Structure 1
Amino acid sequence: MTLEQLRIFVAVAERGHMTKAAELLGISQSAASAAIRALEQQHGVRLFDRVGRNIELAQTGRRFLPEAKAVLERAAAASNVLEHVSQTVTGSLSIAASQTIASYWLPRRLAAFHEAYPAVRLNVSIGNTSQVETHVLDGTADFGLVEGRTESDILRRAKVDVDRLLLVVASTHPKVAEHGRGHPDIRELRWIIREGGSGTREALEDLARREAVPFADLRIFLVLPSNEAIRQAVEAGAGATIISELVVGRAVAEGSLRSVPIDLPKRDFAIITHRDRQPSLAQMALRAHLGGKADLPPLSRG
């Protein structure tokens, strides 16, 4: 039994799908299947039941999963000790980021980090704020980057930047009715929004509460899973949305979208980490690079 086999087993168990687990780990589907098959054959057990195209943990697999995760956590802790002794920033980092951050804020910063620390391998997964929080809590991600609120009290949260939100419509959209200056009638707008759990949707929910309008009374026309899909739908004249300036700033500047005057509070971009997990030097270095607080000793960058 090897650590690599355990990593593959945990990834497959958490995703219920061999191919998705292999893609996450950066290996072929056949390599992932071979690792699981070897584990089962070495110990004469069945870890998974095959259900159609998906797989589910068998009873033995369910019992084995927490032990496998514990071994991987201890191995990571041991690696951290050696990193701190050598003062060399190496290894790999798993980052979960919400869509706005992952698509518009993070890429250039990760490219700069790679220039500074080329021995660190980075793996980024994208989800909404709720999904990112879950990944950090269950250890799938070393840390997360979110723009929405998080719920768990066992997460540490540190602001790394501030984001400006805009209410936008197509340039051809009729004039938006107002209750007063800077107070558009949000009941009259036809809304295009993200799914529940996203920071972008949360911004509209907050606005509805501030305007004393039940969220259920809003004319929700369309729910879409990505910022890009929302931007394109709004440009096509399908309705209005509240979204990050990072996503629509160019479209507003070029005239395909129009920003509706409204007083929207800025929101924080934040790093979230698990308070009970010891960060590696690589995690500390990236956190410092992205603007979080980390006290770093002089380092060799590998």
Structure 2
Amino acid sequence: MTPEQLRIFVAVAERGHVTRAAGFLGMSQSAASAAIKALEASSGVQLFNRVGRSIELSAAGRRFLPEAKSVLERIAAARSVLDNAAEGVAGSLAVAASQTIAGYWLPRRLAAFQERYPGVRLNVTIGNTRQVENQVLDGVADLGLVEGRTESDLLRRTRVDIDRSMLVVAKAHPPVQEISPGRPDISSLRWIVREAGSGTREVLHDLTRGMGIPFDALRIFLVLPSNEAVARAVEAGAGATIISQLVVGRAVAEGVLQNVSLDLPKREFALISHRDRQATTSQGALRSFLLEASSGPR
């Protein structure tokens, strides 16, 4: 497969129509169709179902689409690295990051970025996922980094890492009741949670939804505005929380907190930017750098 075939595949998939995709790409309908057929032939997989005059993604095509987008993002990132090397990178860059990312994931990456691009001046603000999304939409931030879901279709979203959440209680907390092995009775716990709009709270919302329990039925004892405040309250025995392993991993390893066995889905750390705003050289450099770091050893 070639980058051009991937680019045509993504355009057709997003528009659900070969002719419209061809027009968007500035090529003929026959050339676009030929590229799709060649991609399917080389892979031996049918990516689209042809229903009358309509076209829709097959099950394999739906699975392939995010991977194709990711490859194209990386190609663009690689191109940006070469462009930056040729012309130099300088200027200011406003970055908004959600709390877990800003406090535990981002600092060493920004330090390494500044070593490579000393001419870029970084201004970082911290908020929850919803606040970061709004800053990028409003143009207050050039780029955002979030661990929760974003809502606007005006945003370009690219995964840069994976995070694991944990259910933790204090060391002296009595054994947590279980509905069944590995399934704690979360309704019996007293909860300490982050504010609405945070990615951490979103994980708890998803958990209650999956267990068929109304979120409002939880015994929420405290709502706090930071991960550190939540972790300290749990350590003090005030209740239970779901929080990133980056925040409490050391406390669990040292026995200050205990991890309650619960299979929580992994969540992505994502880089977001506005689709309609042209990226500056410094923005492209940071995007490329974070994508480069995400593909390296973990």
Q: TM-score, normalised by structure 1?
A: 0.68
Superposition deviation, residue 194 in structure 1: 0.3
CA contact (8 A) 1:157 1:273 kept: yes
Written as runs of structure 1 = structure 2, the 5 A alignment for 1:23-102 is: 87-102=87-102
Deviation at 1:292, TM superposition (A): 6.7
Aligned length: 211
Instruction: State the 1:165 CA deviation.
Output: 0.4
- Whether the 8 Å contact between 1:158 and 1:292 is mirrored in structure 2 is no
- Counterpart amino acid of residue 227 in structure 1: N
2:127 counterpart residue number: 127
Secondary structure at 2:261's aligned position in 1?
Answer: coil
Partner secondary structure for residue 134 of structure 1: helix
- What is the identity, as a one-letter code, of the residue corresponding to 2:202? E
**Aligned residues of 1:159 and 1:292 also touching (Cα < 8 A):** no
Q: Deviations over 1:69-124 (max 9, x none)?
A: xxxxxxxxxxxxxx98x722000100000000000000000000000000000000
**SS across alignment from 2:172:** coil
Q: Deviations over 1:258-279 (max 9, x none)?
A: 0000000000000000000111
Q: CA deviation at 1:205?
A: 0.4
Q: Specify every segment of 5 or more residues in structure 2 that has no aligned partner in the other structure, as ranges.
A: 1-82, 294-298
Distance 2:91 2:216 in 1: 47
Deviation digits for residues 35-85 of structure 1 (CA, Å, limit 9, x no counterpart): xxxxxxxxxxxxxxxxxxxxxxxxxxxxxxxxxxxxxxxxxxxxxxxx98x
- Letter paired with 1:118: P
Q: Tell me the distance in 2 between the aligned counterparts of 1:290 and 1:257.
A: 31
**Equivalence for 1:248:** 248
Aligned to 1:156: 156
Q: Secondary structure of 1:289's partner?
A: helix
* Residues in 1 aligned to 2:232 and 2:200: alpha-carbon distance in whole angstroms: 16
The C-alpha deviation readout for 1:8-30, integer Å capped at 9, x for no partner, is xxxxxxxxxxxxxxxxxxxxxxx
Answering whether residue 253 of structure 2 is matched by residue 260 of structure 1, we say no
Task: Within 5 Å, give how 1:140-219 maps onto structure 2.
Answer: 140-219=140-219
User: Partners in 2 of 1:108 and 1:282 — Cα distance?
Assistant: 18
Question: For the residues of structure 2 that align with 1:288 and 1:243, how far apart are their CA atoms?
Answer: 29
1:92 counterpart letter in structure 2:
S
Question: What residue identity is the alignment partner of 1:214?
Answer: P
SS at match of 2:186: coil
Q: Percent identity?
A: 68
- Which amino acid is the alignment partner of residue 222 of structure 1? L
Q: Deviations over 1:243-294 (max 9, x none)?
A: 000000010011110000000000000000000011111111111111279x
1:29 corresponds to? none
Q: Give matches, 1:227-238, under 5 Å.
A: 227-238=227-238
Over the aligned positions, Cα root-mean-square deviation in angstroms equals: 1.6
Distance 2:268 2:173 in 1: 30
* CA deviation profile, 1:118-173 (whole Å, cap 9, x unmatched): 00000000000000000000000001000000000000000000001000000100
**Which amino acid is the alignment partner of residue 123 of structure 2?**
N
C-alpha separation in 1, matches of 2:180 and 2:281: 53
Q: 1:292 to 1:149 in 2, by over 3 A?
A: farther
- Does structure 2 conserve the Cα–Cα contact (< 8 Å) formed by 1:129 and 1:150? yes
- Distance in 1, Cα, partners of 2:183 & 2:177: 9
CA distance in 1, matches of 2:182, 2:256: 21
Aligned partner of 1:189: which letter?
L
Q: Counterparts of 1:292 and 1:212 in 2: how far apart (Å)?
A: 40
Q: C-alpha separation between the residues in 2 aligned to 1:292 and 1:122?
A: 19
2:275 corresponds in structure 1 to 275
Determine the C-alpha separation between the residues in 2 that align with 1:109 and 1:159. Answer: 15
Superposed CA deviations along residues 208-267 of structure 1, whole A, max 9, x for unmatched, are: 001100001000000000000000000000000000000000100111100000000000
Deviations 1:183-207 (A, max 9, x none): 1000000000000000000000000
One-letter amino acid of the counterpart of residue 114, structure 2: H
TM superposition shift of 1:181: 1.4
Report if the CA contact (8 A) 1:165-1:266 is conserved: yes
Write the letter of the residue equivalent to 1:93: L
